[in-house]
Structure 1
Amino acid sequence: MSTLSKPIPPLYTVYILRSTVRNSSLYIGSTPNPPRRLKQHNGEAKGGAARTAKSKLRPWEMVGLVSGFPGMVTALKFEWALNNPHVSLHIPSESRITAAAGRKRNGYPKRPRHNLTSILSNVHLLLRVPSFSRLPLNVHFFVPEVFKEWRKWCTSRIDEPLRNTIRVLTHFDPARTRLRNSGSSDNENDSEQPWGIHVLPLDYAPMKSYVAKTKSIYDFEREGNCIICQEHLDPGKGLYATCSNPDCEGTGHLTCWSKHMLGKEAGEHIIPISGHCPKCKGNVVWGDLMKEMSLRIRGPKEVEKLLKKPRKRKAQAASSI
């Protein structure tokens, strides 16, 4: 199966890695599976990168990442731009923050050494440039001091805010947070409570109820009329999207959804960010519509796996807990 024929992945990220031994050592990479990738960087699984293989810098930790990329190619573009902000064409020359550190022997601009502030400032910048500004991206932080540095930068750029649909989320170690606040980390629940990269969904489980709803609609040809143009939706004869809100089955042509959600921006942009459903009036995110539609059309096996009922023994075991 080619990349183009695959559904939008449940997760694809660009992450920031930091050595716990020497905090000034940083690394930027991309992955659909942060826990697995971290194990590779720390030598606990095959793979990783040569730059993170030095035992004197291990263990590494993921201190932050950007999620919501529609696929590997887009994530790799963001990763390369973040690694090379001094030359990336995704950054307009007048907006560039990082300058080249001289020239290499071959005459190409030399990349300056990363530091935490330079990385975070360029993450903030890339989230605002045309290439990435309309993607359904979120920013996650796993270490308080890194989040503090992010907020410090954002405060200094109050005239250049991120759009309000980009969520900035924190997933701190509860034991470390409690220790910092009270001086004690004694709590039995700390080891059981997921945090950091382990709270990120690696599969389509968060979409299960949404996918079950749309499968029922399309399998039983209950599309009805387009909720925007009111034309009849012929089953299986077009690209249709359905509202993501739990109690709404509002369905319409993909092009109608796009024009409706873009509104006054229709002449300026092609890809919407978010809007409201004409039927239930609830908020709808374009990225959610696209992920469901791509999964329905391109991922029948993934849908079957997602909606597969657990075996009786597993179901009984789960109910007895």
Structure 2
Amino acid sequence: MTLQSKPIPALYTVYILRSTVRHSSLYIGSTPNPPRRLSQHNGLVKGGAARTSRGSLRPWEMVGLVSGFPSAVAALKFEWALNNPHLTLHIPTESRISVSTQRKRSGHPRRPRHSLISILSNVHLLLRVPSFERWPLTLHFFAPDVFAAWQKHDTKTDGRLRPSLKVVTDFSDKDSVEGAQTEAPGGIHALPLDYEPIKEFVTKGQEVFDSERQGDCVVCKKTLPTGEGLQAICTNTGCEAVGHLSCWSQHMLGGHHTDDVLPLNGICPRCKGEVHWSEMMRELTLRTRGQKEVEKLLKVKKRRATKAKTQKE
């Protein structure tokens, strides 16, 4: 079996769905395209899930989601853990919040019924366990009452989320239930579904490595041979500092022994600006594994360059 390497996806999310007819009816799923997935759950587009197909519960709304997963598999792991908090091995037994009190005919534990509080509590827990706490995740809320419930739980719980975890609110999308687009889309319709937000960064990386001007490693100062090993570039605009991936990692982790193997952020030795590991890895995987994605992202620029060259000739 051959493992296919892909770049880190532009977007992959684990979402919380709520019936607007009966708020106690909830659903957890994962998708790279929240607007399309919501339309499927509401029967506007083919697809969806059997559990959300009852007309008496439609329309559904996405009240919150977690984004920033480095792959579809990573999102599915988080989704399964959130759907099965009574079984997942990602949660230590002593920390488990949801416990099964019933058994199926097969003898296996029956999944406890979801409630908004139980879901939010388990999201909070999963974002703190070693399996997920250092992933570049962002928590989004699209309903004021759900965000208020989150805030209440966050202030009461003993566990604390890492300071760099982003919690974002957007209550502007009034038509998100029906999946309708507005002139100025908000809510789930404002989420970037492609790599456009990092186009400038990707362009910089392409120019530096295509012209072979990476120079010496910004950390260890050794020469960076073209095409040899993994090399990453500073995430700050205007800075072309390049280094070995291992050197960047050691530098961002403080250069000393640590149990952490995944950096979060650090300071670039050259420009002294803050660099973000997740953005660095997104560009690196696009450059090394996503040729088609890069060509699609930069095609406008390439067409303009071709046109300019033709006019000059």
Question: Same fold judged by TM-score > 0.5?
Answer: yes
TM-fit CA distance, 1:62: 0.4
Cα distance change, pair 100–175 in 1 and its aligned pair in 2 (3 A)? closer
Q: Does 110-119 or 191-200 show the bigger shift?
A: 191-200
Cα shift readout 1:80-119 (whole Å, capped 9, x = no counterpart): 0000101110000111111112222221111110000000
Secondary structure in structure 1 of the residue aligned to 2:254: helix
- Which among 284, 289, 295 is matched to residue 298 of structure 1? 289
Matched, 1:208 2:207: no
Q: Is residue 242 of structure 1 aligned with residue 237 of structure 2?
A: no
Q: Structure 2 vs 1, CA of residues 24 and 126 (structure 1 numbering), >3 Å: closer, same or farther?
A: same
Verify: 1:226 aligned to 2:217, yes or no: yes
Alignment-derived partner of residue 173 in structure 1: 172
**Matching residue's letter, 1:111:** R
Could you tell me which amino acid in structure 2 is paired with residue 168 of structure 1? V
Counterpart of 1:108, as a letter, is: H
Alignment partner of 1:40 is 2:44: no
DSSP 3-state at the match of 1:153: helix
Pair 1:6 & 2:6 matched: yes
Letter in 1 for 2:266: G
Q: Determine the C-alpha separation between the residues in 2 that align with 1:162 and 1:109.
A: 29
Task: Give identity over the alignment, percent.
Answer: 62
SS at match of 2:253: helix
Cα drift, residue 3 of structure 1: 6.5
CA contact (8 A) 2:173 2:188 kept: no
Q: Against the structure 1 CA distance between its residues 90 and 301, is the aligned structure 2 distance closer, same or farther, given a 3 Å change threshold?
A: same
CA RMSD of aligned residues (A): 1.8
CA contact (8 A) 2:173 2:187 kept: no
What residue in structure 1 maps to residue 51 of structure 2? Answer: 51
Residues 32-67 of structure 1: per-residue CA shift (max 9 Å, x gap): 010111111011111110000001101101000000
Tell me the residue number matched to 2:163: 164
Query: Per the alignment, do residues 103 and 264 of structure 1 end up closer, same or farther by CA in structure 2, a change over 3 Å counting?
Result: farther
Aligned match for 1:253, one of 244, 254, 272: 244
Distance 2:117 2:79 in 1: 16
Aligned counterpart, 1:183: none
Deviation at 1:173, TM superposition (A): 2.1
- 2:15 counterpart SS class: strand
Could you tell me how far apart the structure 2 residues matched to 1:34 and 1:131 are?
A: 24
Q: Deviations over 1:15-39 (max 9, x none)?
A: 0000011111000000001011111
Query: Could you say if the C-alpha distance between residues 295 and 266 of structure 1 is closer, same or farther in structure 2, counting changes exceeding 3 Å?
Result: farther
Counterpart CA distance in 1 for 2:105 and 2:272 is 60
Conservation of the 8 A alpha-carbon contact between 2:173 and 2:186: yes
Cα distance per residue 1:142-187 (max 9 Å; x no partner): 0111000000000102x311101110001112669xxxxxxxxxxx
1:193-215: CA deviation from partner (whole Å, max 9, x where unpaired): 22110111000000100001010
Which amino acid letter does the alignment assign opposite residue 187 of structure 2?
A: G
Residues in 2 aligned to 1:285 and 1:170: alpha-carbon distance in whole angstroms: 22
> Which amino acid in the other structure matches residue 21 of structure 1?
V
Q: Specify the code of the residue in structure 2 equivalent to 1:200.
A: L
Question: Which residue does the alignment assign to 2:188?
Answer: 197
Q: Which residue of 1 aligns with 2:178?
A: none
Separation in 1, partners of 2:18, 2:99: 23
Structure-1 separation of matches of 2:167 and 2:101 = 31
Query: 5+ residue gaps in structure 1?
Result: 177-189, 316-321
Please, which runs of 5 or more residues in structure 2 have no aligned partner?
176-180, 308-313
Q: Measured at CA, do residues 174 and 26 of structure 1 come closer, stay the same or move farther in structure 2, by a change above 3 Å?
A: closer
Q: Partner letter of residue 60 of structure 2?
A: W
Distance 1:125 1:264 in 2: 30
